[in-house]
Amino acid sequence: MFLLTTTVWLIACIFGALPLYRIDHISFTDAFFETMSGLTTTGSTVLAGLDEMPKSALLWRSMLQWLGGIGFIVLSVAILPFLNVGGMRLFQTESSDWSDKNTPKTKNVASNMLKVYLLLSILCAGAYHLTGMDWFEAINHSMTTISTGGYSTSDESMAHFSNASHWVGSVFMLLGGLPFLLLVQSIRHKDPRYIWKDAQVRGFVSLILVVGGMMSIWLWMHGTFSLLDALRISIFNIISIVTTTGYGLTDFSHWGNFTTVLFIFLMLVGACSGSTSGGIKIFRFQLASGLFSRQLKQLVHPNGIYPHRYNGRLVSEQHIRSLVAFIFAFFFTLILLASGLALLGLDPITALSGAMTALANVGPGLGRVIGPDHNFDLLPDSAKWLLSLGMLLGRLEVLTVLVLFLPAYWRYR
């Protein structure tokens, strides 16, 4: 299953790159990078002049992200729990059981998630159109919003469009960052409050509200924006980064060192498991904080027994080992990736933020080369291939790919 999952993603990227490769002045390296970024819903781009680019190419980029989004939702709900990657078995349901008995249920769950995904895409396109986008722009941006991908039809990204479209984008990026299985269940139970029962949803929304409020006040007090503009820009940028959509609105790296450090942290967090977003995911931070709290109590009362529960389920030692292994693998891979980019001649900010944005599937990096106001076109081809590998590792939750490098895996094939 590890080999199949990785191989399918690579083959899809190779074939997906062919239509872009046929466009003048786009090398196969750039076409592959753009396709990998699309299918992994990263949103990093090497293309400029999007406003004059053929509409067929723009639509293809958006479709890559839309297909990559629904593909990862199915992967995270039906396959990753089965592979027990990074504590994902906590979310194992009957839809993760591929036995003959449960195959119809698995197909039914996937079908229902696709229907919700399609419905949200249609609603998003309609809402964007009402804010002033033409239908082509609205359809493209609806696909890249729900998939939390971040591709745009303009070099200015979302800054090209009206303020109202930023609020629409914020709402639908937020929906794209929620667990789609819970969205399906909320619709089935006809109770929107059903989704609020999930701990990661509460943590995700709380993070956005708290950080969004702090950032709005920060920008307003520094006299950069009016209070309403500060709220709009802060909420949009924070949701865009936390959900790993990566839409560009303003270059937040110009807001000061405090905001830069904050956005670096938000890059890694990610949204909910079972959504289209990348990153480490909210639930892993919640599990880690719970383990930290339990360890402190254990130091005070060595003989005490403190069972750790998450969403009402007991967190076993196997879950803990899987969580620790994932976090170690993620940051170890991040260090290797950043070091590799630095060896290729990239400056420290570009190398580190490039590695982070690739592994977390965010999109924009930091600095004067790959910051929110720039793209990845100026990077050497070798760096683009390395970042493509990083995007694949991040999308498939790192361990799914790394296990293929173990001789023991092949010994028993």
- Per-residue pLDDT of 341-375, as tens digits, reads 999 999 999 999 999 999 999 988 888 889 888 88
pLDDT in the model for residue 391: 96
Residue 116 has pLDDT above 50, yes or no: yes
Which single residue is written with the structure tokens 């067929």? 56
- Return the pLDDT at 118: 95
pTM of the shown model: 0.91
Torsion of CA 127, 132, 134, 140, to 10 degrees: -50
How far apart CA 310 and CA 137 sit, in angstroms, is: 41
Query: Which of 58-67, 163-172, 217-226 is predicted least confidently?
Result: 217-226
Q: Which helix (H) or strand (E) holds 310?
A: strand 309-310
Instruction: Locate 69 and state its tokens.
Output: 């989004």
What's the whole-number mean pLDDT along residues 172-185?
92
Helix axes of 2-21 and 55-74: crossing angle, nearest 10 degrees: 170
- The dihedral built from the CA positions of residue 132, 187, 196 and 97, taken in this order, carries a sign that is negative
> Contact, 68 vs 175, CB < 8 A?
no
* Average pLDDT along the chain: 87
pLDDT recorded at residue 100: 43
Task: Calculate what percentage of the chain has a pLDDT beyond 70.
Answer: 92
> 411 pLDDT exceeds 80?
no
| Predicted confidence band of residue 254 (pLDDT cuts 50, 70, 90) | confident
Q: What CA–CA distance (Å, rounded) separates 206 from 268?
A: 17
Query: Which range, of 99-108, 130-139, 163-172, 244-253, averages the lowest pLDDT?
Result: 99-108
What pLDDT score was predicted for residue 13? 95
